[in-house]
Amino acid sequence: MRWMLLTLMMAVALYAAWMHDTNRALPFAKLPPVRGTEIARVLPDPTATPVSKVRVPQGVPIRPSLQKQVNALMADVERVRGLRFERRIVPRFLTPADFRVYYSHMLDREWPQAQRQAQEDTLIMFGLASPSFNINRVLEDDPSNSILGFYELDSKRMFIIGRPNDLDPANKVTLAHELTHALQDQHFRIQSMYERARDNEDAELALRALVEGDATLSEMLYMGDTKIDESRAQAIARQDGTTFTSISTGPAVLTLKTLFPYLQGASWVGQLYRKGGWGAVNRAYGDPPESTEQVLHPGKYLRRDHPTSIKLPRMDGALGPMWQMVAENTLGELQVLAMFLPQGSDVARKAASGWDGDRYRIYRYGEGKVLVWESVWDTTKDAREAEQALRQQQIALNDDVFGRDPVTRNGVFYLDGADSDVRVARQGKHLYLVVSSGTTSRTADKVMRTLLD
């Protein structure tokens, strides 16, 4: 299961975590915090653990007097966004307690433990999280005080978290955002778009930048159009419960990936809007950004700088039949940027900006784990800069772990130690990384030779 469900449900909480950790430099401008999020489900995973038969709360119907307010809000959103609703939205209320049950059920169904473990391994082996990172601890946090509402793509339902007699300014701002998602779904079939990107996390994140950037811009225009006091709405949205200790101290990359669709997405959509109005934004759904590179560098989207597709070789001969592939995906420029950020934002931007495509796999056998990553860069010079940054990243990660100094033999960079073995190599514009743990250094050697052959 992709990381998406976690980030969808945790967006507001992670904004608070980002504000708490102010020493982290993010490569885009700050915008108002998010007050709502949609839930985009994927097809059931046949390998998922069966879900318990606990009754999933369905919420209570909204009162007619409040529905009149929702209808008026729908008209406001139609006017601001320039689209008409094909179907009326009738929200339901969920209490915070019921939402906690709902959230737990969704996690169990959509993100089984094997997939959570694969995501945890990915972050740790790329150096994006510390070896002590435990993704289940992040999922233990209570989101019920941070999320005010959400729209379900598969059921086409909208929920408000709170009391059935309550529709305050913060709820209205959240609904403006979520109603935009309903408009998007009715006109552009958003769930199908997410399904097409399901095997490429970077492409999915770029699509979310379009979807969330659109809704964030619509929300901001709604607030200006209806004269809602922004400071008051933000104060309500940031009330008790928005800071979660485990997330605040967790991997910065989760915060970065969560904020990216809202912050950079709003900037990206805003450029389309300024050039061609909502018509230009609407046309982007027929030709969405394919990578975070295209969102970070809008010119690359406009000139259709398509990412290069990479097909990794089979590793049967290098690893043997007992090893199982537990993850395969694409990092993309944003996560590569996150890998290099500890070296300074300028170094990270320079090293990551030449990204042109990548693909990784993680294999497991017993306690053994192997990460295989191949990336391609715009030029040989870009690949050399990324190679240098990658070597420095690995040295910094393993400074107190490896007993031997790093060496380079026949163009391959070696770090051998008690816990992990690292290999870095480059051929022209292609850069390779192998990280193995719980096995012998010969395993890393054989995997790298397979990549280079």
Neighbours of 20 (CB within 10 A): 16
Q: How far is CA 148 from the centre of its chain?
A: 20
In whole angstroms, give the CA distance from residue 285 to residue 187: 10
Q: What angle do CA 295, 300, 302 make, to 5 degrees?
A: 95
253 and 179 within one domain? yes
403 and 256 within one domain? no
For residue 428, the domain's CATH number is 3.40.1000.70
Residue 300 falls inside a structural domain = no
CB-count burial class (<10 Å; 0-12, 13-18, 19+) for 157: middle
In whole angstroms, give the CA distance from residue 35 to residue 13: 10
User: Please, what sign has the CA dihedral across residues 120, 21, 268, 212?
Assistant: positive
For residue 350, what are the domain limits? 316-452
Q: How far is CA 434 from the centre of its chain?
A: 24
For residue 341, give the DSSP letter. Answer: G
The answer for residues whose C-beta is within 8 angstroms of residue 92's C-beta and 6 or more apart is: 58, 59, 60, 61, 62, 157, 158, 159, 160
The pTM score is: 0.84
Coil, helix or strand at residue 156:
coil
In whole angstroms, give the CA distance from residue 287 to residue 196: 13
Residue 307 falls inside a structural domain = no
331 and 286 within one domain? no
187 and 220 within one domain? yes
Q: What angle do CA 272, 194, 134 make, to 5 degrees?
A: 110
φ and ψ of 275, to 5 deg: -85, -35
- At 113 the pLDDT is 87
Among 233, 263, 295, where does a domain finish? 295
398 and 267 within one domain? no
Q: How many domains would you assign to the chain? A: 2
162 and 194 within one domain? yes
114 and 251 within one domain? yes
> Which two three-digit tokens encode residue 119?
């995501």
146 and 245 within one domain? yes
In whole angstroms, give the CA distance from residue 40 to residue 3: 12
Neighbours of 395 (CB within 10 A): 15
The answer for residues whose C-beta is within 8 angstroms of residue 51's C-beta and 6 or more apart is: 105, 108, 109
340 to each of 346, 347, 348, 378, 447, how far by Cα in Å? 10, 7, 5, 18, 24
29 and 164 within one domain? yes
What is the edge-to-edge ordering of all strands in the sheet holding 158-161? 60-61, 92-94, 158-161, 149-151
Q: Of the candidates 162, 174, 143, which has an alpha carbon nearest to the alpha carbon of residue 13?
A: 143
Q: pLDDT tens digits for the chain (453 residues)? A: 333 333 333 333 333 333 222 222 333 333 333 333 333 323 333 334 444 456 888 989 889 999 999 999 999 999 999 999 999 999 999 999 999 998 888 888 888 888 899 999 999 999 999 888 999 888 877 776 678 889 999 889 999 988 777 778 888 888 999 999 999 999 999 999 999 998 999 999 999 999 999 999 999 899 886 554 545 444 433 332 233 333 445 688 988 998 999 999 999 999 999 999 999 999 999 999 999 999 999 999 999 999 999 999 999 999 999 999 999 999 999 999 999 999 999 999 999 999 999 999 999 999 999 999 999 999 999 999 999 999 999 998 876 555 567 899 999 999 987 678 999 999 999 999 999 999 989 999 999 999 999
291 and 323 within one domain? no
Q: Quickly tell me which residue has 């031997």 as its tokens.
A: 404
Whether the CB-CB separation of 376 and 357 falls below 8 Å is answered with yes
For residue 56, give the DSSP letter. Answer: P
241 and 334 within one domain? no
Q: Quickly tell me which residue has 């939205």 as its tokens.
A: 89
